[in-house]
Each structure stands twice: as C-alpha cells, then as structure tokens.
Amino acid sequence: MASRILFVTTDQQRFDALGCNGGRVAATPVVDGLAASGVRYERAHPQNVVCMPSRATMLTGQHIRNHGVWMNGVPLPADAPTVAGLLNDAGWRTGLFGKAHFEPFLDPFLRFPQNRMGVTGATNEEGRPHRGFECMEFAGHGSGGLVHYGGWMREHYPEHMASFYPPLDGTLDVNADGGGDTGAPQVLRNSVPRGIYHTDWVADRAIAWLEGLSDDDDWFCWLSFPDPHHPWDPPDSELHRVPWRDLNLPDGYPSDRAEREAALDTKGAHWRRWYDGDLVTNFEAPARWVPATLTADQVREVDAMAHIENELIDEALGRLLFTVSNRGWHDDLHVIFTTDHGEFQGDHGLLFKGPFHVDSLMRLPLVWRPAPSAGVAPSVVADPVGLVDLAPTFCLIAGIEVPDWMDGAPLPVTPEESASRQRPAVLTEWDSVHPGGSEVHLQTVTLDGMVCTRYEAGTCHEGVEGEMWDLADDPLQRTNLWDDPGRRTLRDDLVAELDALLPERPAHPLRTEAPV
C-alpha cells in the first residue's frame, strides 16, 4: 500500500488563528476538520522564531546549532541532509510549492540555486532534485522577488505587479510605510484579483504536480503558503470577510499605555528598547517603525488582514484536498499542518517578531491528521513538542528509520505516548548580530508548564537576566518569575535542563549572506 504525506505550512501564523485552537474570527473549517479527526497539539514550539532557521529545522529535523542556520540570511549548507532527500532516495515523489526560504531572498547576483531556479523557471537543479525535492515552484511575500510566482505574474498579469505592498523600501531595508485605513505598517489595499493571489497560486501549482503523479506513487508534497506573514495585503475583494472596525482587541493587547509599558519593563531590556525605537536586532521588522506608535485601530486592521489571509489559506487547502480525494488517495493520506513561527499581532503592544520567546511567537498551530487507514483515534496532545520532531515523523510514516543526524523524535499521537517520551523538553534559540551594532542571544526551554529563557551577554544584556513564565497561571505572560526568589530552585532546574538540551555551538558558525 502506498503512502502519501501532505505537509502544509503557513508563515508567521498564531496558534489562535484557527477555530480548532479557540480562534473566534477566521473561519477555518478545513483545518478544524483535520484536527477533529486527527491529533491536535496544544503546545508546539519552533526552534527559532524567524523563517530560515525554523524552516531549516523542519527540513532537517535538527536543532539550530546542528544545521547551522542561526538567523535569516544564513543559507542552509548545500550538502545538508534533508528528510525530502531521504524520501526521494526511498522512491517517493517529492515536491515543494510556495515559500521555501532555505536560502536568502535578497540576492541580486543570483548566488543561490533557489533564486536561479525562480528566475529561470526551472523546477529543479538541471534535472536533479534540489534539497531532495524533484519539483519546486516558489512564491514569496508579494509579486516580486526571485520566485516562480513573480515570473508568472510578470508574464500574465504585469498590470498587477505593483498592486502588492513592496516589502523593501528604496534603501532595501524592510519597508515601514503604512497603509490601509489606519496607516498600519506593511498594510496595503491590494487590487489583485483573488484568483491570482499567491495563496491560490501555491495550491494550483501543487494540484498540477499531484495530477501528474501515478495513482500508486508514494509522494511527499510540501504546500507552503507565504501568508499570513507581513505584508498584510490580501485581495481587496475579500476585505468584507472581516471588517476591522468590528473586531475586538486581542486579549494580549494592553490598551492602556501605562499598563503596556509597565508590563514591558518587567521583561528584558531589549523589549522596551525595541518598543521605544531604540533597538534594531534583525531585518524582520521595519527598522524605521517604532512599536510605541502602534494604535489600537492599527492592531484591529492588521488582525483583520491576517484573519482574511488565514481564511484564504483554509479554502485553498480545501480545494487541494478535494483533488486528492478525487484521486482516491484520501485513505492513505497523512496531513500535517503547522507554521514556522508566530506573530505578535498586537500582543504586548507589538507587531512582527524578534528576540521574544513568548507564546505570541512560539506557540504554533500543529495538527496531524493521520491517514484514515492507520486507524489512529482523534486526540489532543498538551505536552510540548517541537518542529524538530516533524522530519522524524515523516520518516516514521514512510517506514524509514530515523537517522542519527536528526535531533527530534516522531510526534506522539496520544497523551499517554507523549508522557512516555524520553525528552519532553523543547528548545528554542535566538542569536542575532546586527551590522548596526546590536547583539542578542536567548536560549529557552519549555517544560512542565513553564517557559524559561536565559539571556546571554550581548549589547542589551549582561548575561544574568532572563524570563520565566508560568503558562497555566499567566497565559498572557505578564509576570516574569525569573527573579522570584520563591522560584529560584525551579529556575535552576529548568536552566540545567536547558544546558542538557543545548547542542555545542558550532566551531565555525555559518556566515550571514543576506539580510533575509
């Protein structure tokens, strides 16, 4: 009997984006249905909260220090082992459609194979699989970029190339321009028709590839939607779905300025310094935008845009699943849905992401709908798991022994199985060294209902500070327990667990080759 894996990722999506996770705005019936008949994970964490390191972990099953991609702009080495390569070597058909980002985006001299493929329209490296994928068609955040979607738009819809928000400004820094009704950064009214927006294009390309496969092929299809990552510019035609003025402010947004700033001051210095516009740590958030200027209405408008984008993703996924079902593949199809990292979307009075290890960025949606033929009962797993566990899970599904170079372990499918795992703790790391002069290093362990983050010495921290959050008592993460004398033993235990989990830092760290 053949096996099939549909691996669905979004980009920068919050845990509460989905109805099955308590989301109350976007309608996500397709993913909710997968969760209802599969396994829903309540605490899935990334190993890094920006795209490239997190995606490298998904592809390799390795922690950050082992695959080496410690920040955006650091390319995954060309010879890095990948789960797609394992599957392809075992005879599986392998394809990736949408956002890959295993190599930097900003690449005027076309130094990286994925960008060369995007510009030339090639779907592999001269007939050879790229990183284990025999077919790759890329999309990014908009109509531009060195991706297949950009070429397709230029060829067929040149009149809409300028309809999208330009992610970079004239200095090639992340664009801080505001738009929409509220002037929120990275928001734009986009006149592009829904049918040619990148969400549907990604699904279309995957469907086309699947239709070319034989009925009895084993296949691994990574369906990688670029949304709801900023810029927030869904098609205008869809804005009626979620009128921003009707939205409540999110629970995580302290609308009182004094309360908001007092809460930030209980955290590490980098929180308040970024909020005040005094710190740039990376090229992910616009350097010229000051979070303290964020208004409640801007939070509402950004939220509405993200919810709309999430609905479009759910519908595109539904369309692909319909195709798969029509091919008779439903009973043998495993579907895993997740994202690479989260988004503040107003929590703590902030937008975007950065060196902040809290639920906004770390608690991710993760659903595994096992193949119905596997007979796995629906379940909810509350214990922490990591994206590092995805690649080993794919190996398990494929009947391939999990190789030694993978750090994760197959995902548990029941609470009992979760309780018996050897390593229940999950590791998340952040290292940033910005050419403007800032340097931030965080290491976090999630275990036993606690999230504990140690700050290493850098330009913001002396190396003795940190954060510790009680997830049950303080879900909004407002009370930092790091310096609580009554929790000192617990903190020491968690830091010891962190040290046990952390791989050695590589002797020769990989170089940053682009800002993103």
Partner 1 sequence: MAREHTAVCSTDRDRFYDRYVDVRRELVIAASADEVWSVVAAPERQAEWFPGMVSSVLEETGEGTFRTIQTASGGFIREEVLGVDHGARRFEYRIVGPFRMEHHLGRITVVPDPCGSLVIYEQELEPKALTYVLDGAVADALDGLRDLVVNGRTSRSWIEPMTATGREEGP
**Which residue, 108 or 375, has its beta carbon nearer to partner 1?**
108
Least distance in angstroms from the C-beta of 280 to partner 1: 9
Rounded Cα–Cα distance for residues 308 and 314 (Å) = 10
Q: Give the amino acid at 509.
A: P
Least distance in angstroms from the C-beta of 177 to partner 1: 14
Binding test (CB under 8 A) with partner 1, winner from 91, 170, 328, 485: 170
Rounded Cα–Cα distance for residues 63 and 445 (Å) = 13
Determine the number of helices (DSSP H) and then strands (DSSP E) in the chain. 14, 15
Binding test (CB under 8 A) with partner 1, winner from 7, 41, 70, 289: 70
With CB under 8 A as the rule, give the number of residues binding partner 1: 35
Rounded Cα–Cα distance for residues 187 and 442 (Å) = 30
- Which residues within the stretch 493-512 sit at the binding site for partner 1 (CB under 8 A)? 509, 511-512
The region of 250-258, 316-324, 339-347, 433-441 touching partner 1 under the rule CB under 8 A is 433-441
Rounded Cα–Cα distance for residues 182 and 104 (Å) = 32
Least distance in angstroms from the C-beta of 3 to partner 1: 39
The region of 203-211, 303-311, 373-381, 436-444 touching partner 1 under the rule CB under 8 A is 436-444
- Which residues within the stretch 271-330 sit at the binding site for partner 1 (CB under 8 A)? 283, 287
Q: Where are the alpha helices (DSSP H) in 74-146?
A: 83-89, 113-120
Rounded Cα–Cα distance for residues 89 and 391 (Å) = 15
Bridge partners of 369, per DSSP, are: 335
Query: Do the Cβ atoms of 491 and 468 come closer than 8 Å?
Result: yes
Binding test (CB under 8 A) with partner 1, winner from 146, 206, 304, 426: 146
Rounded Cα–Cα distance for residues 340 and 344 (Å) = 14
Rounded Cα–Cα distance for residues 412 and 404 (Å) = 19
Least distance in angstroms from the C-beta of 515 to partner 1: 5
Binding test (CB under 8 A) with partner 1, winner from 435, 472, 485, 489: 435
User: What is the phi/psi pair of residue 190, to 5°?
Assistant: -115, 120
Rounded Cα–Cα distance for residues 25 and 236 (Å) = 18
The answer to the question of residue 436 lying near partner 1 (CB under 8 A) is yes
Binding test (CB under 8 A) with partner 1, winner from 434, 454, 461, 491: 434
Query: Do the Cβ atoms of 134 and 247 come closer than 8 Å?
Result: no
Least distance in angstroms from the C-beta of 422 to partner 1: 32
Largest CA distance in the chain: 64
- Which residues within the stretch 447-466 sit at the binding site for partner 1 (CB under 8 A)? 458
- Assign residue 448 a region (left: φ > 0; alpha: ψ between -120 and 50; beta: otherwise): left
Least distance in angstroms from the C-beta of 276 to partner 1: 20
**Which residue, 139 or 146, has its beta carbon nearer to partner 1?**
146
Least distance in angstroms from the C-beta of 174 to partner 1: 8
**Which residue, 66 or 477, has its beta carbon nearer to partner 1?**
66
- Which residues within the stretch 3-42 sit at the binding site for partner 1 (CB under 8 A)? none
**Which residue, 392 or 515, has its beta carbon nearer to partner 1?**
515
The region of 95-103, 268-276, 311-319, 429-437 touching partner 1 under the rule CB under 8 A is 429-437
* DSSP secondary structure letter of residue 145: S
Residue with structure tokens 């516009």?
277
The answer to the question of residue 240 lying near partner 1 (CB under 8 A) is no
Give the per-residue contact string, 172-191, with partner 1 (x = CB under 8 A; - = no).
Answer: xx------------------
Least distance in angstroms from the C-beta of 502 to partner 1: 15
The answer to the question of residue 224 lying near partner 1 (CB under 8 A) is no
* 247-278 b/e (C-beta count within 10 Å ≥ 16 → b): beebebbbeeeeebeebbeebbbbbbbbbeee
Short-list 292, 351, 341, CA closest to 444: 341
Residue with structure tokens 């740590």?
281
Binding test (CB under 8 A) with partner 1, winner from 359, 431, 465, 467: 431
Least distance in angstroms from the C-beta of 288 to partner 1: 10
Query: Do the Cβ atoms of 490 and 450 come closer than 8 Å?
Result: yes
**Which residue, 167 or 384, has its beta carbon nearer to partner 1?**
167
Q: Tokens for 447?
A: 């275990």
Rounded Cα–Cα distance for residues 426 and 423 (Å) = 8
Least distance in angstroms from the C-beta of 509 to partner 1: 5
User: What is the phi/psi pair of residue 358, to 5°?
Assistant: -130, 175
The region of 7-15, 255-263, 370-378, 435-443 touching partner 1 under the rule CB under 8 A is 435-443
**Which residue, 394 or 455, has its beta carbon nearer to partner 1?**
455
Rounded Cα–Cα distance for residues 233 and 36 (Å) = 31
Rounded Cα–Cα distance for residues 388 and 402 (Å) = 12
Give the per-residue contact string, 91-130, with partner 1 (x = CB under 8 A; - = no).
Answer: -------------x-xxxxxx---xx--x-----------
Query: Do the Cβ atoms of 122 and 100 come closer than 8 Å?
Result: no
Which residues of the shown chain bind partner 1 in the complex (CB under 8 A)? 70, 73, 104, 106-111, 115-116, 119, 146, 168, 170-173, 283, 287, 431, 433-437, 439, 441, 458, 509, 511-515
